[in-house]
Structure 1
Amino acid sequence: MNSDRITLPKTGPCRLSNLRLHRSHLGETSGLVFDAEGFARADILLRDGRIEAIEAPGRPDRGEPANDCRGGIAFPAFVDCHTHIDKGHIWPRSPNPNGSFAGALETVVADSRANWSAEDLKPRMEFSLACAYAHGTKALRTHIDSASPQDEISWPVFDTVREEWKGRIDLQGVCLFGIDAARDTEWFDRLSALVARHKGVLGAVTYMVPDLDDMLERLFRKAMDLGLDLDFHADETDDIDAVSLDRIAETALRLGFEGRILVGHCCSLARQPDDRVKATLDKVAEAGLSVVSLPMCNMYLQDRRSDDTTPRWRGVTLLHEMAARGVNVCVASDNTRDPFYAYGDLDVLEVYREATRILHFDHPVADWPASVTANPARAMGLDDAGVLQAGATADLILFRGRGMTELLARPESDRIVIRDGRVIDASLPDYSELDHLMEPESHEH
């Protein structure tokens, strides 16, 4: 199956026949027969950029143009709920000196101070979005480093890029700073107002500072005052005493927070005693938190050892235990070609492929495909994303793979991306487009 075999008229009906659709991606499943992996054979009827119907195969031919998809899998367009496109693609000028978390932090701070002007940020952000769009992403949330004075530079650029990409990628922004910085009330109030003005999400990196509960309450109350959602980096460490996920859930319950909360990483949870894990997960479920694991970045950074010995653990959080409690769980790209992760391309299929291997999203496949579609859409508050159903916008991805092993064994670089019922040009931008930002004189620290 290739794009020149798919014909989708601008108006009127057409049919994508002989597809495999996963149960977790469907708003309605009546009349479909599912196999052990959760796939059913189906046809999708499109009309004027929307899904008109999803039908079992063998329905009478109504005369509309049909495209035989040869049993290939179709996913809804991807939703990538945790990225850092302000950092993206700086590796050529600022590589991590030793692959460590500390090395990443130090290198990014130095690069941002030297280089992160509007003229540097905008083309890198746009390059990242072009990659995501070509791979089939419909919506993306990015964290934005927001220490002063970078906040006054990055947020206006983000706002411009979001407007220019409207209709291609739904873009959300989250402020990012170390939670202890919220002690500066004047600065925190100013940043929160900036985030609200740009219709963003309030967020921070949490760690075990002595006044963590007070700082969390400050963020929660500010979000409540301004009507903002919350998004945290939490416990990105192997320290078993890092329990800010528990403190976030506790604060949400105590204050009766009614907005959406997404928490990323939560790595230390996998190292903690079972009784502490159970108590934390019970709170997370009760508080209605969503959790996103970043398997590629966490595998890259966590348990990297200075003595060149082999890492002993995977760095990912307990998504299976969370899902069993009804927690909304996701996986996402995180960093791309920057000091926190030297690789990646904002390809959510790659994320799901690696998550399947690292987090065991198989035996059974169950509802894990929703972790890159419907679940992150729910975490981001998106109504028309992540699900294939009648009435939804026709945003989907057609793959050659006819089952999970075929889908995840190859890169599927010839996938067909359909947006608003039309096949898009899925060509990836060339890295040379960023060469002018990587000249040695532009990044001397």
Structure 2
Amino acid sequence: MRNVGPTPFATTGPVASQPATAGRAGLHLAGLRLAGRDRHWDIAVEDGRIAGLSPSAEKGGGFVMPLLADIHTHLDKTFTASRMPERATSLFHAIEMMKADAAGWDEADLRRRAGQALSRAYRHGTALMRSHLDWYGAEPPTAWHVLRELAGEWQGRVRLQLASLTPLDLFADIGEAVAREVKAARAVLGAFIYRNDDLASKLGHVFDLAERHDLELDFHVDEGLDTDARGIDAIVAETARRGLAGRVLCGHGCALSMRDPGEVGDLLRHAAEAGVGLTVLPGCNSYLQDAGTGRTPRLRGLAPMHEARAAGMKVMIGSDNVRDGFFPYGDYDLCDMFRGAALLGHLQPDAWLDAISETPANWMGSSLRVSEGGPADFIWLDADDLTDAISRPRAARAVWRDGRILADHHQGEQT
């Protein structure tokens, strides 16, 4: 085996293919910093697996972190920002624009956009993804069929898990039909909840469906700045009552940022005891909450990440919307999203890296740990440590899968 320093890890140019070939025969990576570990390490790669992981006497070999798990995306909406008539000034303005655009979606359009998204995510280092899909009728939307096909095609590269997304008020009419389809697809049942009337009864019906069909739940909840948006309180109480720990995930929770801190602290402790998880979406929420025209936003709608984790909740970070009416930016790069989260949420990077990797991976029934004997799947960065990587977003990156470095990010991309 030969030693490989930082230079051959570049993701572009002819040198990028050399370590991939050598990796099959045996490759030694020296002087690495590994996420979650002190000191420097050497990694031996053989036959697509990590054959050895040992302390190193060398330094300067770069930084290695696990592959990524993006637990909250919207592949049906993605890459439509250029078709929006204007910039969204509120959540519900974005919803209306997206509904209008969705009227023109067909299989070819959906496959092209979602395929592009999966390709970008894969080449940036994402191995697992959950996509929510809008669902307003008893029959599955076209996007459901397209994304199920793509999930099969991408198996082995990105494990794609689907989640239905239906407004809570529609469950009385179509909930049973949705739940049956979700069960058949081995997917997740989801609902949009925001200041609904008769909340407890309607939510109870969703939980009934989940229990009857043995489904996990993933809620878009309290995605606004109204202090009377308390859907998450009802979800926590219902989860605790039914004993569904580890099967109920809440995304957004923007209204928590506006409520009394003592009250929120009590709620988060109850959520942790009930086993409810929290997904924080810093990109879209910080962009869309308190949006307007001709004024600087004051309120960012960031869910209380630190407090939730301190209370014992499983806290995750997701991409959410990418280049659509809700959020016109992004590239399915969770490293970039993590950098934004660290800045917006004052996160200590080393303590929070698991929020885009092992924690969501575990929630989806997998593990992405870099370990001896495991697959040679990881991300290498030309950086001294994670803080250095966050400080230099243009630092060279190489994504390793099965002991090979992936080709240039856009080479062979579906368009």
TM-score, length of structure 2 as denominator length: 0.92
Shift of 1:310: 1.6
Matched residues in 1 for 2:350 and 2:153: separation? Answer: 37
- Answer whether contact 2:23 2:45 (CA < 8 A) is retained: no
- Answer whether contact 1:99 1:339 (CA < 8 A) is retained: no
Q: Secondary structure at the match of 1:7?
A: helix
2:127 alignment counterpart = 138
Matched residues in 2 for 1:14 and 1:83: separation? Answer: 35
**Residues 341-350 or 12-21, more deviating:** 12-21
Given residue 289 of structure 2, which amino acid in structure 1 is its aligned partner? Q
Matched residues in 2 for 1:152 and 1:221: separation? Answer: 23
Name the count of aligned residue pairs: 402
Q: Secondary structure at the match of 2:120?
A: helix
Matched residues in 2 for 1:413 and 1:223: separation? Answer: 44
Matched residues in 2 for 1:128 and 1:17: separation? Answer: 33
Choose from 20, 29, 32 the match for 1:19: 32
Given residue 114 of structure 2, which amino acid in structure 1 is its aligned partner? M
- Answer whether contact 2:69 2:129 (CA < 8 A) is retained: yes
Shift of 1:105: 0.7
Alignment of 1:23-422 (within 5 A): 23=36, 34=38, 40-58=39-57, 70-113=60-103, 115-148=104-137, 151-184=140-173, 187-258=174-245, 260-306=247-293, 308-362=294-348, 365-382=349-366, 384-385=367-368, 387-412=369-394, 414-422=396-404
Q: List per-residue Cα deviations over 1:192-230 (Å, max 9, x = no partner).
A: 111111111001111221221122221222112222111
Q: Secondary structure at the match of 1:203?
A: strand
Ranges in structure 1 where 5+ consecutive residues have no aligned partner: 24-28, 35-39, 59-67, 435-445
Given residue 353 of structure 1, which amino acid in structure 2 is its aligned partner? R
- Answer whether contact 2:138 2:178 (CA < 8 A) is retained: no
Matched residues in 2 for 1:98 and 1:305: separation? Answer: 8
- Answer whether contact 1:269 1:317 (CA < 8 A) is retained: yes
Shift of 1:12: 4.8
Q: List per-residue Cα deviations over 1:121-164 (Å, max 9, x = no partner).
A: 11111000011011111111110111127724121111110011
1:37 alignment counterpart = none
Overall identity of the aligned pairs, in %: 34
- Answer whether contact 1:155 1:198 (CA < 8 A) is retained: no
**Residues 196-205 or 213-222, more deviating:** 213-222
Matched residues in 2 for 1:210 and 1:102: separation? Answer: 18
Shift of 1:95: 4.3
Task: Give the 3 Å change call, closer, same or farther, for CA 105–413 of structure 1 in structure 2.
Answer: farther
- Answer whether contact 1:417 1:426 (CA < 8 A) is retained: no
Given residue 292 of structure 2, which amino acid in structure 1 is its aligned partner? R
Q: Secondary structure at the match of 2:299?
A: coil
**Residues 128-137 or 399-408, more deviating:** 399-408
Shift of 1:88: 0.3
Q: Secondary structure at the match of 2:409?
A: coil
Shift of 1:100: 2.4
- Answer whether contact 2:254 2:303 (CA < 8 A) is retained: yes
- Work out whether 1:424 is the aligned partner of 2:406: yes
Matched residues in 2 for 1:426 and 1:232: separation? Answer: 36
Q: Secondary structure at the match of 1:390?
A: coil
Task: Give the 3 Å change call, closer, same or farther, for CA 118–136 of structure 1 in structure 2.
Answer: same
Q: Secondary structure at the match of 1:354?
A: helix
Matched residues in 1 for 2:411 and 2:195: separation? Answer: 41
Shift of 1:262: 1.7
Q: List per-residue Cα deviations over 1:262-317 (Å, max 9, x = no partner).
A: 211111111101231022101110111221111111111001135x2221122211
Ranges in structure 2 where 5+ consecutive residues have no aligned partner: 1-6
Q: List per-residue Cα deviations over 1:231-256 (Å, max 9, x = no partner).
A: 11111101111111111111000111
**Residues 174-183 or 141-150, more deviating:** 141-150
Given residue 73 of structure 1, which amino acid in structure 2 is its aligned partner? F
- Answer whether contact 2:246 2:276 (CA < 8 A) is retained: no
1:439 alignment counterpart = none
Q: Secondary structure at the match of 1:44?
A: strand
Q: List per-residue Cα deviations over 1:330-379 (Å, max 9, x = no partner).
A: 111111110000100000010010001000112xx452111111111122
- Answer whether contact 2:138 2:177 (CA < 8 A) is retained: no
- Answer whether contact 1:220 1:257 (CA < 8 A) is retained: no
Matched residues in 1 for 2:148 and 2:187: separation? Answer: 10
Matched residues in 1 for 2:138 and 2:107: separation? Answer: 12
Shift of 1:104: 0.7
Matched residues in 1 for 2:334 and 2:306: separation? Answer: 20
Q: List per-residue Cα deviations over 1:72-121 (Å, max 9, x = no partner).
A: 111111111110011000111224444322221111000111x1211211
Shift of 1:411: 2.4
- Answer whether contact 2:382 2:395 (CA < 8 A) is retained: no
Matched residues in 2 for 1:248 and 1:13: separation? Answer: 51
Matched residues in 1 for 2:200 and 2:307: separation? Answer: 25
Shift of 1:169: 0.3
- Root-mean-square deviation (CA), in Å? 2.1
Given residue 386 of structure 2, which amino acid in structure 1 is its aligned partner? M
TM-score, length of structure 1 as denominator length: 0.86
- Answer whether contact 2:134 2:166 (CA < 8 A) is retained: yes
Given residue 188 of structure 1, which amino acid in structure 2 is its aligned partner? G
